[in-house]
Amino acid sequence: MADKIKFTVALALVIAGLWGYYQLAQSAAIVRLASVVAGLAAGAGLAWFTEAGRQFFAYAKDSVEETKKVAWPSRKESIQTALAVFGFVVVMAIFLWFTDKTLEFLMYDLLLGWKK
């Protein structure tokens, strides 16, 4: 029960930070940004002391570790893949244009006789 109360208060702190952003519309941008950052920091700090908060932060830490294990493509591989996609798009565009013009010719010129 205490965790639910802490989590609710943490959520209220985040909402208060966002509310402060809009209430300080006449203030400098840095003050408005500080309101949001303070609300997020206070909410995250309080959420840290809940069981769900600790599980979330552990999950986030594990996610970062997993992304470090991913074999990301090199610049050369990324460019080659992008060029292959671009080439495929060009070929498909030409094919669809040709198919459209062929069907247009068959339907309007030969079958219906609208274009003469």
Task: Please tell me the predicted confidence (pLDDT) of residue 94.
Answer: 98
Using one digit for the tens of pLDDT, what is the confidence trace for 13-66? 999 999 988 998 888 989 999 999 999 999 888 888 888 888 888 999 999 999
Is residue 6 scored above 60 in pLDDT? yes
- Following CA atoms 101, 107, 112, 115 in sequence, which dihedral angle do they give, to the nearest 10 degrees? 0
Task: Please tell me the predicted confidence (pLDDT) of residue 114.
Answer: 78
Q: In the structure, what pLDDT confidence band is assigned to residue 116 with cuts at 50, 70 and 90?
A: low
> What one-character DSSP code corresponds to residue 49?
T
Neighbours of 10 (CB within 10 A): 23
Using one digit for the tens of pLDDT, what is the confidence trace for 99-111? 999 999 999 888 8
- Give φ, ψ of 7 to 5 degrees: -65, -40
Positive or negative CA dihedral for 7, 8, 11, 16? negative
